[in-house]
Amino acid sequence: MNIVPNADGFGARIEGLDLSRPLTDADQTQVEQVLGRYGVVSFPNQSLDAASLKAFSERFGELEINVAGKYQEPDIPEVMILSNIVEDSKPIGLADAGQDWHTDMSYSRMIAFCNILYGIEIPHRDGEPLGCTEFCNMHAAYDDLPADIKARLDGMTVLHDFNKFWEMMRREKGSQRPPLTEAQRAAKPPVSHPVFLTHPITGRKVLYANPGYSVRINELPPQQSDEMLAYLFAHQLQDKYRYRHRWTVGDVLMWDNMGTIHNAVADYRPDERRLIKRCQVMANRFFPEAIA
Residue 68: inside a domain = yes
Contact, 245 vs 40, CB < 8 A?
Answer: yes
Residue 271: inside a domain = yes
pLDDT in tens, 30-71: 999 999 999 999 999 999 999 999 999 999 999 998 765 678
Give the DSSP H or E segment for 178: none
| C-beta neighbour count of 9 within 10 angstroms | 14
Give the DSSP H or E segment for 238: none
pLDDT in tens, 118-157: 999 999 999 999 999 999 999 999 999 999 999 999 999 9
Residue 290: inside a domain = no
Terminal CA-CA length for the chain: 37
DSSP β-ladder status, 252-256 and 40-43: antiparallel
Residue 288: inside a domain = no
pLDDT at 173: 54
Domain that holds residue 86: 2-282
**Residue 103 scores a pLDDT above 60:** yes
**Residue 290 scores a pLDDT above 70:** no
DSSP-derived secondary structure for 198-209: EPTTT--EEE--
Residue 38: inside a domain = yes
AA letter at 14: I
Residue 289: inside a domain = no
**Residue 100 scores a pLDDT above 90:** no
Domain CATH number, residue 172: 3.60.130.10
Residue 292: inside a domain = no
Residue 224: inside a domain = yes
Question: How many independent structural domains does the chain possess?
Answer: 1
HSE toward the beta carbon, residue 170, CA cutoff 13 A: 10
- pTM, to two decimals: 0.92
